[in-house]
Amino acid sequence: MAIPLYEKIYQHILHEIKSGVLKEGDRIPTELELADRFHVSRITTKKSLEILAKDGLIERHRGRGSYVSSNLPELYSLAVTEDMVDMENPTSDDWRLIAVILPDFSESYGTKLLRAIERQCSKLRIRMILKLTHDLREEEEIAIRTLVNMGIDGLIVYPIHGEHYNGELLKLVLNEFPLVLLDRYLKGINACSVCTNNKKAAQELTDYLLDKHHKHIAFVSTPPENTSTIEERIHGYTDALLHRGIGIDQQYFITNLSATLPNQLNKDSNIMEDREIISHFIMRNPQITAFVVGEYLLAIHLRQVLIKLGLLTKYEIVCFDSPDDLFEEPLFSFIRQNEEEMGINAVNLMQMQWDRTTVPKKTLVDHSFVKRMDR
């Protein structure tokens, strides 16, 4: 199992104390100095110094720094692991450890992303821990705290739906902890992220429907508040309409659906409620002939409602993502997000943070448009 970096730094300083390189009263490098020297985050070096102080090896004085303790414990009882002494020249079998936190994943989106992350981690000698939060803020916060305390070297997070400021994520950013956000970014938090150009993708979906002479097009999604992915898809949809001189009708939005969110406990009840909302919407707006849908499972719910109403042939549905099927034509024309490239980019961006190279704050990954053959 990978040894946490905070433990390696602890062992390095312990070795210097036991070997006499650092003597009683000598100043210990600051958290920032250690972070720069060993190419780690301040959270990592802070944890190392805290454990050194707890074991009586150093004394920490606010505003003055840390010093080798004047009353050292019996050092022979504190073992030094020799293969962790030379932090600046790691051995060839030295692996990093990261955690990947997701709300959930499915065949339509997430599975290929995870596989790509795992493959790239193996290629770069990184071990990976996976944690699902089921789209719950408390679960996400607990997972972040627990994993960081375990001594992971970095974190890849797909933030929960609707969360603008997660306090634990903000702490990581302020402490310069290696962090990559997946699929979305958080406004106001200067964190590294990798995602699809959702605005451009939604424009392409809407333009496709407009080119097929649909003039009354609705937008369907879960709530967009504080979720950059959905907000940008709405912007792409509205920009495409405005570019064609078509006004925005707020009645053409269904953005209060919830059954596809991972944290829903009573799925059957929520599915029925969502389908009732969609059914009433269709009955109130008979002029609509097409839908841009924010995700595949919502498109499936919409399709089932149309089948039940006997109206499927009247409407066209386009969406984001779809399961791969080698033998069947996709049910909808859709945007295929490049999950493989997104996963590879996320791990590479993590490595760049460890290497202390310049890291872009927002990396956009190209997508493709898969058009369903007209029947």
Q: Residues 286, 299: one domain?
A: yes
pLDDT at 263: 67
Count helices and strands in the chain by DSSP H and E runs: 11, 15
Domain CATH code at residue 357: 3.40.50.2300
Q: Residues 223, 250: one domain?
A: yes
pLDDT at 77: 53
In a domain, 372, yes or no: no
In a domain, 90, yes or no: no
Q: Residues 239, 295: one domain?
A: yes
Q: What is the mean pLDDT of each run of 10 residues along the chain (375 residues)?
A: 75 86 89 83 85 88 87 63 48 76 90 95 93 90 91 91 75 89 83 95 98 97 90 97 95 92 70 94 96 96 96 96 85 96 97 90 95 78
- Cβ neighbors of 220 (< 8 A, separation 6 or more) are 254, 255, 257, 278, 291, 292, 293, 294, 298, 299, 302
Exposure string for 242-256, b = 16+ CB within 10 A, e = fewer = eeeeeeeeeebbbee
Domain of 18 in residue numbering reads as 5-84
* Integer Cα distance of 244 and 185 in angstroms: 29
pLDDT at 264: 57
In a domain, 89, yes or no: no
pTM comes to: 0.78
* Integer Cα distance of 68 and 214 in angstroms: 74
* Integer Cα distance of 113 and 101 in angstroms: 12
Of 27, 50, 84, the one marking the end of a domain is 84
pLDDT at 357: 86
pLDDT at 91: 44
pLDDT at 90: 46
Total of domains in the chain: 3
Q: Residues 9, 134: one domain?
A: no
Q: Residues 68, 120: one domain?
A: no
Q: Residues 67, 139: one domain?
A: no
Q: Residues 205, 333: one domain?
A: yes
* Integer Cα distance of 334 and 174 in angstroms: 38
In a domain, 309, yes or no: yes
